[in-house]
Chain A
Amino acid sequence: MKLRVDYRASLRLVGTVLKYLAVPLCFPLVVALYYGESVLPFVVTMAVTVLVGTGLERLADDPDIGAREGFLMVALTWLAVTIVGAIPFLIEAHGIPFVASPIHPESTLGNPVNALFETMSGFTTTGATVLGDISFDSHTRGIMMWRQLTQWLGGMGIVVLAVAILPELSVGGAQLMDAEAPGPGIEKLTPRIAETARALWGAYLGLTVLEIVLLYGLNVTGHAQNMGVYNAIAHGLTTMPTGGFSPEARSIEAFSAAAQWVVIPFMVAAGTNFALFWHVLTGDPKRLFRDTEFKSYLGVIGVVSAILAGILFLGDGLMSVAPAGETYDQLYLEGIRTAIIGNVEPAVRQSVFQVVSIVTTTGYASIDFNAWSAPAQYVLLFAMFIGGSGGSTGGAVKIVRWYVIVKSLRRELFTTAHPEAVRPVRLAGRAVDERAIRGIYAFTLLYLVLFFVSTGLLHLDAARIGFDVSILETMSAVAATLGNVGPGFGVVGPMGSYLDFSNGSKLYMVLLMWVGRLEILPVLVIFTPEYWRR
């Protein structure tokens, strides 16, 4: 049987992207040099990317990218960069036989499955971690910077970045971006797709730099003691992609209230359609507040935060005693209660921070929300399915899809009473194509099916190895990896890790993150026989 998909063309482009991955690797290399650490993990990885990349590039001369090749190229790119991106973690833990000894042999990332998990979590901006100890005692600053950089690269999209700067990707670039970009469909801002990609990356880069400057400014003015240059850069690199990898074990809880307030608007911006920033910068700022999705997005954040703030303020959302089997420091619980109950600022800050972090799928925590009680946790579990806006760096189902679903359901109710009525579903005044609505239903249904099936599978697997997790914890773990949120509840809570799952479960979650980042269909389609057939 002759295959119709020109997989060589796809692989060739994967090679090109892989080759250029050597460039961003220079950044952690410089960090390592600055702190006097070994540069070997990065030098070796750069050599691998260039070698494998140029090798793949020899597969085809003049790649012709169609829709099918686009899906394959995008899906494989994310897999390839993840595999190659895991190399620095492995070298850190194992060294290179006969050449270099291990730097931190105790690192949990020495297990290849863990390294793969951490890298996929980074590139897909999930922010779920399997690091045993998040500190500079067990990891070099260079390695940690690479971990944070993977999120930044993955946020706006490696392929979008590639389309922006590699001229060989300009033809067919729209196909590629469509397969990768979050949300239904892409919005071409300029006639040339590469310029659109550059505009999106420009806005992304600008916001990242602004956040770094503001965070470091807080430190200089004495409002955030431990927000040094390293931390400012690390958090800038992981906020804008809605990533959530913090080099601090306590995540954003480690910083002052002022630093937390600064991070909030950047998370909000990260969950906004970046095309809107482009319109704002090119002289149409009103467009931002005319945008239906943006308004609903702010509305959802406002309503959910208000509910949560109320629960926290009254104390209903906070645990007073740790449940049986949990090892909470009673003093920590007491401390949280006295700080939040009856106090407006902490109640509002904690609820807004957590809601924004979960809705935008950033996954930072300004508090260990495992110390919250069930009602507050269910609010957050619900928020994990909302997601940011289409065209943002956020994951999950996304506001625009929920909006269209709600409106089309209302339409169904209307046409039940008036069978002859013709009612298009409108998004910001424009009628949505019925095929797009069908696509949205299919995506959301698949998302929920994947969620429930995966919850069952992971729960069974945990029982098999005798790992004690509740069903809420498993559900949150699936929602957090499939939606690229990051932390869940309980063992996988914001201060915990996914370390104790079996290797099989972790590999499965790698798949969930991959599928979740590329929004299911572009990845699943390459596993169907129809895709490969003529």
Chain B
Amino acid sequence: MRVIIIGAGQVGSSIAADLDETHEVVVIDCDPERVDELNYSLDVLALHGDGTSVDTLEEADVERADMVIASTDDDETNIVACATAKAISNAFTIARVKNTEYLRTWQRSEKAFGIDFMVCTNLLAAESIVRVVGLPAARDVDPFAGGQVQMAEFEVDEESPVANQTVSEADRFDSLTFAAILRDGEVTIPRGDSVIGPGDRVVVIGSPKSVQGFASSVSPDEPPGTAEEVVIVGGSEIGYHVARLLEERGFKPRLIEHDAERARELAEMLPGTIVMESDATDVDFLEREYIGDADLLVSALDSDEKNLLVSLLAARLGVERTVAVIDTTPYVDLFEAVGVDVGVSPREVVAEEITRFTREGGAENVALIESDKAEVLEIEVDAESVLAGKPIRESVATLPEGVVIGAITRRREFITPRGDTVIEPGDHVVVFVDSCVIDDVTPNL
């Protein structure tokens, strides 16, 4: 497939890096230095130019392209680039936007702007933050098969009752599959007698109810889903969407915003949220409002450093768990190491979403584990798939190590995969795949 990526920022480069081995990738950027750098670091063709101009797109041979991904930091540029590409080619166009208004317009008529798929950075980031709420100890939660299946990544600390248990001891849930154990950055596919050590992270796939159940067995002190006290710091677009999505789920979050006008605007848009106008580093204020009693604090300010500061301050005041929005993707690991419980990078989330469209084999949905150590894919099984018409025991034997069938849905019904389960064409299968084997495996599924 020939893919043109417009904008070689963090999102564009990360998608390019993900695709360069298997696809013909052309990257367009208006910064000549970045173009130079890309030409050396990745196996792609990087062009210098304006992605919204017909000349540049023709230079990139857009007529032959199968897909155009506009991923600059500017919404309007991305929209115009897609529309231009659509006007002179038949490529599938994907645009990244920040403003949800554009997303709403596009959702109304999926022909709007000549865009075939639109991803909204702020909304996706907010959604991934909100998924973590209600699942204590969860570092990442992703829905699959229209919400019927959940993938969750948990950190097991020393006090957890699950620590030092074997997988078969820990697995007390019918519709739950242990997909992987992550230890020191290494992915292992667990067997019944594998021991879950303290500090490990486990990836489980199952029905939302069983994932919730497992969450409470990882940390029984905090029953999941109970009226959690959530404080959001920063009324950015992400902060706003987090509050809005929590409201939809029946929470009554508190949101702290220091700009008076923005605070008023947010208070008008969010009837179920208590908006407070203050500086989140004002310790007197935080104590007066008992912010330390909160179960979860989301810091969504516009600077990574401030988010780190606020998270650390909150943790010191006694907040159970902190989630920080981190713009600079490489900081995520660092921030999590120094004390932020969950770091969410909007750019990474978007890159993940776009990657799902570029997968061969028709993956419906993709989640990346530990940035790129492994992937969880949702696949609609067709008759040609190696999985179709066979019991799982047989089909897995033909696949390399590092593949776990996590869950199956058939006509929107959840089916727990067992050795003798026969997968039928049309079923949706959620699979965990180690990155080392992903390129061998996905074309066959």
Which residues of chain A have a CB within 8 Å of any CB of chain B? Answer: 418, 420-424, 426, 429, 431
Contact = CB atoms under 8 A, between A and B. Distances in A.
Contacts of A426: 271
A423 B275 contact: yes
Interface string B263-285: 11011100100111110000001
Contacts of B267: 422-424, 431
A431 B267 CA distance: 9
A533 to B, nearest CB: 33
B159 interface: no
A354 to B, nearest CB: 37
B289 interface: yes
B276 A418 contact: yes
Residue from the set A420, A421, A423, A429 with the largest chain B CB neighbour count within 10 Å: A420
24 contacts: A418-B274, A418-B276, A418-B289, A420-B256, A420-B276, A420-B277, A420-B285, A420-B289, A421-B275, A421-B276, A421-B277, A422-B257, A422-B263, A422-B266, A422-B267, A422-B276, A423-B267, A423-B274, A423-B275, A424-B264, A424-B267, A426-B271, A431-B267, A431-B268
Nearest to A434: B264
Nearest to A431: B268
B264 A420 contact: no
A119 to B, nearest CB: 46
Contacts of B257: 422
Residue from the set B256, B275, B285 with the largest chain A CB neighbour count within 10 Å: B275
B289 A429 contact: no
A421 B268 CA distance: 12
A422 B257 CA distance: 10
Contacts of B289: 418, 420
Contacts of B274: 418, 421, 423
A418 B276 CA distance: 8
Contacts of B271: 426, 429
A402 B263 CA distance: 26
A424 B266 CA distance: 10
Contacts of B266: 422
A429 B271 CA distance: 7
B264 A422 contact: yes
A426 B267 CA distance: 10
A424 B289 CA distance: 20
A362 to B, nearest CB: 35
Contacts of A423: 267, 274-275
A426 B268 CA distance: 8
A421 B278 CA distance: 9
B252 to A, nearest CB: 13
In the A-B complex, list the 7 residue pairs whose CB atoms are closest, starting with the nearest.
Answer: A431-B268, A420-B276, A420-B278, A422-B267, A422-B275, A422-B263, A424-B268
Interface string B11-26: 0000000000000000
Contacts of B268: 424, 431
Interface in B278-316: 278, 285, 289
A418 B285 CA distance: 10
A418 B275 CA distance: 10
A431 B257 CA distance: 18
Contacts of A418: 274, 276, 289
A141 B260 CA distance: 64
Contacts of B263: 422
Contacts of B277: 420-422
Residue from the set B256, B257, B266, B271 with the largest chain A CB neighbour count within 10 Å: B271
Residue from the set A418, A422, A424 with the largest chain B CB neighbour count within 10 Å: A422
Interface in B209-263: 256-257, 260, 263
Contacts of A422: 257, 260, 263-264, 266-267, 275-277
B231 to A, nearest CB: 13
Contacts of A429: 271
Nearest to A421: B276
Contacts of B256: 420
Nearest to B257: A422
Given A420-B256, A429-B271, 18 more contacts: A418-B274, A418-B276, A418-B289, A420-B276, A420-B278, A420-B285, A421-B275, A421-B276, A422-B257, A422-B264, A422-B277, A423-B267, A423-B274, A423-B275, A424-B264, A424-B267, A431-B267, A431-B268
Nearest to B275: A422
A89 to B, nearest CB: 52
Contacts of A431: 267-268
Contacts of A421: 274-277
Nearest to B274: A421
B247 to A, nearest CB: 13
A420 B260 CA distance: 10
A424 B263 CA distance: 10
A429 B260 CA distance: 21
Interface string B26-62: 0000000000000000000000000000000000000
A153 to B, nearest CB: 40
Nearest to B279: A420
A83 B260 CA distance: 52
A423 B275 CA distance: 7
A28 B263 CA distance: 60
B286 to A, nearest CB: 11
Contacts of B260: 422
B214 to A, nearest CB: 37
A429 B256 CA distance: 21
A422 B266 CA distance: 9
A418 B278 CA distance: 11
A421 B263 CA distance: 9
A322 B274 CA distance: 57
A403 B263 CA distance: 24
A106 B23 CA distance: 105
B133 to A, nearest CB: 22
Nearest to B282: A420
Interface string B167-204: 00000000000000000000000000000000000000
Nearest to B278: A420
A268 to B, nearest CB: 29
Contacts of A424: 264, 267-268
Contacts of B275: 421-423
Residue from the set B256, B268, B277 with the largest chain A CB neighbour count within 10 Å: B268
